[in-house]
Amino acid sequence: MMDVTLESVSKRFARAGDTAAVDDVDISIAAGEFFTLLGPSGCGKTTTLRMVAGFYFPTSGRIRFGSEDVTRKPPNKRDTGMVFQNYALFPHMSVAQNVAYGLKIRKVKRAEARQRIEEALAQVHLEGYGDRRIDQLSGGQQQRVALARALVIRPRTLLLDEPLSNLDAKLREETRVEIRRIQREAGITSIYVTHDQAEAMAMSDRIAVMESGRVQQLGTPQEIYHRPATAFVARFIGRSNVLSLPVVSATTISVNVRLPGGGEARVSAPEGHGLTESASALVSVRPEHIGLDGATRDGALTGRVTELEFTGMATNLTVEVHDELLTVAAVEVPSGLSVGDQVGLRLPTIGCGWSGRDRRADDLDRPRRHRGPARPAPAPAAAGPGSPVGCAAGRARRGFPTCWCCRSSWCSGATSSSRCSPRSWKPSARTGSTTTAASCPAPASPGPR
């Protein structure tokens, strides 16, 4: 087992207009940990994995395996095992020959190689398949052959690049359980790349959520789901209702916000949130945390059902509340409920909070660096009159400068970044909207994945 560290790693591609595919990433992965890079297509997760493997060299920064600096070492000198998205199996070889390929390159003695091949095939539950051709295997079996080939060389680190993307939904669920079992038994440090949120949540010890080449949040699946750090994370991980609500009052750990329709609720917020009275906060509420309530009382909302969808495990409703559309996932719904009916919503007490701004463009965040495990989240506000309804976001936005091209913090003062003209900075013309100066070019595309 071995820990892996990325220190201020960036990667730029000249052919993509010198765009930063990976931008100043700091990650520390513990020995034996199952770590996942999660994000949409083009976010930089595969580029990051390829730099760890040695297929790309970073433009800047360092990569360390334990205390060893491997930044400029070629792939064959890093002692890693790689499982590719398309498996990359040799069709003219048998299963055993595919698994033995890495041992052959390393000139392992025949008797030892035979024993290690048998052990690797047993590890992935493919005993007796050694003489079969690759085209005689199912997709799930081919994936396990690729995994056995990576494990048989006994690498210090296992790298997996979306290995389940070519499988159907049922087989993906079965195979991800097998991969996690094998990883636990081997105790090997593993880095897994996927765009599937459910896959990442089910398998990972920790997750780094990436977007536009940057780490938006790093933490355990529970931390990321219940305490998303930005509006992007809240929307990308599962489903979430993200509302912009005015702040009535604020303390160091919570804020009172005004709900649609005039009611108030207290929302937990992180320390140093910067929210003040008359500012706005982003509040995230998961659909499964909203209950249906026929009673009209303080803290309850009333809205009209605009969509109704039965999915088996739950019924998904879209409810219009004072021009806001809320998504609700209810296990039980009133008998006879249909589109157009009025329904009451019961907002829960949820101890989660996140900092962010009321932006229409989620990709303008400049997230903090992340080194090692995420810090423990602050304790939620105690329940009381007007209990928390979700998680608060927010810095006070009114009057803070914004810069489209350098993506600097809203709260960094009126001085522009060294990369931009001072005219790039413009205070928000109205609460919750960004302003782009004519002298500031539009942001470039994130480049290769």
Q: What is the CATH number of the domain that holds 159?
A: 3.40.50.300
Which residue segment(s) compose the domain that 217 sits in?
4-226
Q: Residue 259: what pLDDT?
A: 79
- CATH number of residue 276's parent domain: 2.40.50.140
Residue pLDDT, tens place only, 330-369:
888 887 888 888 888 877 654 344 434 433 333 333 343 4
The reply to whether 381 and 408 lie within a common domain is no
- For the purposes of burial, counting CB atoms within 10 Å of the CB of 220, is it exposed (0-12), middle (13-18) or buried (19 or more)? middle
The reply to whether 34 and 116 lie within a common domain is yes
The reply to whether 247 and 154 lie within a common domain is no
Measured CA to CA, the distance from residue 242 to residue 232 in angstroms comes to 10
Residue pLDDT, tens place only, 108-128:
999 999 999 999 999 888 999
CA-closest candidate to residue 261, choices 171, 186, 347: 347
Length of the chain: 449
- Of 191, 207, 226, the last residue of a domain is 226
Q: Residue 210: what pLDDT?
A: 95
- Of 207, 226, 245, the last residue of a domain is 226
Q: What are phi and psi of 32, to 5 degrees?
A: 80, 5
Measured CA to CA, the distance from residue 14 to residue 380 in angstroms comes to 46
The reply to whether 271 and 123 lie within a common domain is no
Residue pLDDT, tens place only, 226-257:
888 888 888 898 888 888 888 888 887 778 88
| Count of domains observed in the chain | 3
Under a CB-based contact definition with an 8 Å cutoff, are residues 346 and 265 in contact? no
Measured CA to CA, the distance from residue 63 to residue 26 in angstroms comes to 10
List the Cα angle 381/386/392 in 5-degree steps: 50
The reply to whether 169 and 317 lie within a common domain is no
